[in-house]
């Protein structure tokens, strides 16, 4: 069925291209892509091209990003929507990139009316209907198969926010069962939080115990970047993420 958006995207893809040498170099630098089929790689390439066309990547504080750097961001950002479609990233346009970790200052008012100032050092952040923010140093470290991937983490938050605030419950596909998602994530989050509280060693980043939204985002990192670890520790979560992202990295 014809749609203006499909026509627009095809027009962009026909008029633009990613240099083959640039693409092949990036592919060699990102182990998490090596299991993709040729067809998946071409689909990812098209999505990255749309991302570069529709999103504004804005380096700040003197940082300069060349074509290869922008492509790296686009490819990592588009991997979660490989089988979903570019429309899942509608509603926002800006990607802000700092050279390194950045400070986010926020004020909170408690029940007594007192204002508390919080200054958090971050490597990434996602705003609802607003920009995605990355540390370039963290982007460079992403995609190496160790489960740490700031780009996928923040894009998972963006997907989570599509149906409201980030809470670890993104809009599920019609064929998915909400109770199955809730049961899998609640059990895993409870177990993981208990292990972290008891100072037990975990191969999964302890930041996942912060809240259900961060648990979903961190598990998404491992789903793409170190899927075997997630499948080993929380197979039900892996299964639900496989249904949601419509991918199965372990079987690539």
Q: How far apart are CA 197 and CA 194, in angstroms?
A: 5
Look at 15 and 246; give whichever has higher pLDDT. Answer: 246
Say how many CA atoms lie within 13 Å of 97 toward its Cβ. Answer: 24
pLDDT classification of 5: cutoffs 50, 70, 90: confident
Q: What is the pLDDT of residues 18-48, one digit of tens each?
A: 999 999 999 999 999 999 999 999 999 999 9
The beta-strand segments (E) located in 38-146 are: 56-59, 94-98, 102-109, 115-122, 124-126, 132-135
The whole-number pLDDT of residue 235 equals 98
Residue corresponding to tokens 């961190």 = 218
Which range among 118-132, 185-199, 213-227 shows the weakest confidence by mean pLDDT? 118-132
Rounded to the nearest integer, the mean pLDDT of the chain is 91
* pLDDT cut 70: percent of the chain above it: 90
Q: What is the pLDDT of residues 154-194, one digit of tens each?
A: 999 999 999 999 999 999 999 999 999 999 999 999 999 99
Measured over the CA atoms of residue 106, residue 120, residue 134 and residue 237, the dihedral's sign is negative
The whole-number pLDDT of residue 111 equals 61
Q: What is the pLDDT of residues 216-250, one digit of tens each?
A: 999 999 999 999 999 999 999 999 999 999 999 98
Q: Is the pLDDT of residue 252 over 70?
A: no
Question: What is the fold, at CATH topology level, of the domain defined by 4-251?
Answer: Cyclin A; domain 1 (1.10.472)
pLDDT classification of 6: cutoffs 50, 70, 90: confident
Measured over the CA atoms of residue 99, residue 44, residue 36 and residue 80, the dihedral's sign is positive
Q: What is the pLDDT of residues 66-80, one digit of tens each?
A: 999 999 999 999 999
Q: What is the pLDDT of residues 47-66, one digit of tens each?
A: 999 999 999 999 999 999 99
Q: What global pTM score does this model have? A: 0.90
* pLDDT cut 90: percent of the chain above it: 80
């Amino acid at each position: 069925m014809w749609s203006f958006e499909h026509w627009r995207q095809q027009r962009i893809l026909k008029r633009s291209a990613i240099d083959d040498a640039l693409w092949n170099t990036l592919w060699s630098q990102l182990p998490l892509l090596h299991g993709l089929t040729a067809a998946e790689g071409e689909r990812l390439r098209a999505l990255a091209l749309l991302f570069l066309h529709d999103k504004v990547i804005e380096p700040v504080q003197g940082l300069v990003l060349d074509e290869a750097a922008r492509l790296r961001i686009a490819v990592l950002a588009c991997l979660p929507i490989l089988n979903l479609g570019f429309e899942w990233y509608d509603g926002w346009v800006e990607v802000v990139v700092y050279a390194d970790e950045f400070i986010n200052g926020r004020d909170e008012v408690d029940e007594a009316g007192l204002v508390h100032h919080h200054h958090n050092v971050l490597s990434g952040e996602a705003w609802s209907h607003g920009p995605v923010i990355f540390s370039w140093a963290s982007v460079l470290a992403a995609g190496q198969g160790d489960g740490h991937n700031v780009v996928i983490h923040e894009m998972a938050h963006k997907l989570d926010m599509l149906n409201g605030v980030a809470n670890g419950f993104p809009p599920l596909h019609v064929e998915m069962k909400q109770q199955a998602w809730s049961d899998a994530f609640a059990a895993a989050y409870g177990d993981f939080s208990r292990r972290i509280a008891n100072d037990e060693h975990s191969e999964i980043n302890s930041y996942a115990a912060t809240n259900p939204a961060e648990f979903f985002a961190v598990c998404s990192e491992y789903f793409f970047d170190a899927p075997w670890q997630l499948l080993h520790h929380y197979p039900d979560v892996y299964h639900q993420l496989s249904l949601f992202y419509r991918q199965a990295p372990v079987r690539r």
